[in-house]
């Protein structure tokens, strides 16, 4: 396990000045992930103090940025700039590369700047050797790399704090301020899921030189236990039950099943528990988790009642079709060397800031989770993953659970059937931001949409984005 070469500089005296925001210098990328794109990056401190000053070596880490030039006639300047902030935590900016056609239609004439926040993609990683592109698993951990990566981080637990949300927010602020110092045309930020939390944290650090912000699939209030990550199965189940109820209310779907969808599902669950051969056909051998995952993809979600009916009859065709649909959906996002999720970063940030369970229910065990989820029909593996821990956490700082004092004009895009960042949680966050009077925040509701509107409801995204940059009021949409 190899750490940052200068990790010992954590104890160095504070630098005398704040990190200077510098413009990026873009050159042709050395990879072939996105032909025609340009690459750059910023050297940043391993840590910042509360005032944003570098602690130790000011060049301890590197944050990678990819640029897609504006689609405008040669010699013409871009009409604007859009920064795209990925979710996760642990997800790189590569999640946006295949979505460029939708983005170009939504932001005509704009250039796109896509950073990999620290710990992800081509930026500095928690495990420099095990998560390197040259390792056996590439950017993903594979085989023995899991053990050596986790063991190395645990040897120096304070290292986790270098990858906090606030540290990543300092990076993002430096990137945007440095680049926009060139006085370009209008600048906007788009973020999704965890990326919305990262952008809100960045705005807590002070105003940004941007005209507007789009928050897609907004995270709920950080201190509200109803939507903390340990409650993810309950969030997923709420959406799943809505899907079953929609089938019951639809004449054709109800007629096809001939009984309430939940009644059919419970019978299939009983059969699966009694028949190991049937359970073995389900990915992960967990029907509740599998159907919970189907809620993320509208085309797969629509087949849930018919999958249950086919499984009840002993059929295999519908399951094969659903698996193909899910595989096609995943493939639509593309696969790049920087695509693999950084599981160590997910573990550290999630347990440090977005999992209230240890303080709310100390001593909580896997058996407790099993009892808690016994009556649910749709579940997520996340509560059990977080329970396992395995890596150190960092202490919450003064920004935890707090909202920005000032915000640019902001648009929130939220699906009513989001099983990750629930619609009710987004509504609560929008109310809190509105009551704080930090700035104008509008909610655009996307009926029937799940998570990640840019991906799952592109037509609604295009409509909302074009209206937003034109200064028009937000409108709701239906998937």
3-class secondary-structure state, position 44: strand
End-to-end CA distance of the chain: 47
Q: Which CATH number fits domain 7-225+398-478: 3.40.50.720, 3.90.550.10, 3.40.50.1820, 3.30.420.40?
A: 3.40.50.1820
CA–CA separation, 262 vs 268, rounded Å?
Answer: 10
Q: What is the pTM of this model?
A: 0.93
The dihedrals phi and psi of 324, each to the nearest 5 degrees, come to -65, -40
Longest alpha-carbon distance in the chain: 73
Task: Per residue of the chain (479 residues), give pLDDT as tens.
Answer: 333 333 333 333 333 344 456 789 999 998 888 888 999 999 999 999 888 888 877 778 999 999 999 999 888 999 999 999 999 899 999 999 999 999 999 999 999 999 999 999 999 999 999 999 899 989 999 999 999 999 999 999 999 999 999 999 999 999 999 987 766 789 999 999 999 999 999 999 999 999 999 999 999 999 999 999 999 999 999 999 999 999 999 999 999 999 999 999 999 999 999 999 999 999 999 999 999 999 999 999 999 999 999 999 999 999 999 999 999 999 999 999 999 999 999 999 999 999 987 777 788 889 999 999 999 999 999 999 888 778 999 999 999 999 999 999 999 999 999 999 999 999 999 999 999 999 999 999 999 999 999 999 999 999 999 999 999 999 999 99
Closest to 414 measured CA to CA, from 431, 437, 394:
431
Q: Do you find a cis peptide bond into 89, omega within 30 degrees of 0?
A: yes
Contacts of 447 (CB under 8 A, 6+ apart): 415, 416, 476, 477, 478, 479
CA 447-451-455 angle, to 5 degrees, is 95
Per-domain residue ranges of the chain: 7-225+398-478, 226-335+353-394
């Amino acid at each position: 396990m190899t750490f940052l070469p200068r990790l010992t500089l954590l104890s160095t005296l504070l630098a005398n000045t704040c990190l200077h925001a510098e413009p990026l210098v873009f050159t042709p990328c050395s990879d072939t992930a996105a032909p025609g794109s340009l690459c750059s990056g910023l050297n940043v401190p391993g840590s910042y103090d509360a005032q944003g000053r570098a602690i130790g070596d000011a060049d301890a880490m590197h944050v990678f940025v990819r640029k897609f030039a504006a689609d405008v006639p040669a010699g013409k300047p871009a009409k604007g700039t859009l920064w795209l902030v990925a979710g996760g935590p642990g997800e790189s900016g590569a999640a946006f590369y295949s979505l460029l056609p939708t983005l170009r239609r939504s932001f005509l004439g704009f250039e796109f700047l896509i950073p990999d926040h620290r710990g992800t993609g081509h930026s500095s990683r928690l495990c420099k050797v095990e998560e390197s592109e040259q390792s056996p698993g590439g950017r993903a951990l594979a085989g023995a790399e899991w053990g050596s990566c986790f063991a190395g981080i645990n040897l120096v637990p304070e290292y986790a704090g270098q990858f906090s949300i606030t540290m990543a927010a300092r990076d993002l602020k430096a990137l945007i301020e440095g680049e926009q110092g060139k006085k370009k045309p209008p600048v906007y930020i788009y973020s999704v899921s965890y990326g919305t939390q990262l952008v809100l944290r960045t705005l807590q650090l002070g105003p940004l030189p941007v005209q507007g912000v789009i928050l897609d699939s907004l995270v709920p209030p950080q201190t509200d236990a109803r939507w903390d990550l340990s409650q993810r199965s309950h969030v997923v189940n709420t959406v799943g039950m809505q899907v079953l109820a929609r089938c019951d209310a639809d004449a054709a779907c109800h007629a096809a099943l001939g009984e309430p969808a939940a009644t059919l599902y419970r019978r299939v669950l009983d059969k699966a528990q009694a028949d190991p051969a049937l359970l073995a056909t389900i990915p992960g051998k967990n029907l509740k988790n599998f159907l919970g995952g189907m809620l993320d993809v509208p085309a797969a979600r629509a087949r849930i009642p018919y999958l249950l009916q086919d499984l009840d009859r002993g059929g295999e065709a519908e399951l094969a079709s659903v698996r193909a649909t899910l595989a096609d959906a995943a493939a639509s996002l593309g696969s790049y060397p920087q695509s693999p999720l950084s599981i160590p970063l997910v573990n550290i940030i999630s347990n440090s800031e977005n999992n209230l369970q240890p303080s709310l229910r100390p001593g909580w065990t896997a058996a407790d989770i099993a009892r808690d989820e016994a009556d649910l029909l749709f579940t997520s593996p996340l509560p059990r993953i977080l329970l396992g821990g395995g890596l150190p956490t960092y202490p919450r700082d003064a920004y935890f659970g707090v909202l920005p004092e000032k915000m640019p004009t902001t648009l929130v895009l939220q699906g009513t059937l989001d099983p990750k960042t629930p619609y009710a949680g987004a509504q609560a966050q929008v109310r809190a931001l509105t009551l704080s009077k930090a700035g104008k925040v509008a909610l655009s509701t996307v009926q029937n949409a799940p998570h990640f509107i840019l991906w799952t409801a592109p037509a609604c995204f295009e409509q909302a984005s074009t209206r937003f940059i034109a200064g028009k009021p937000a409108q709701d949409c239906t998937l």
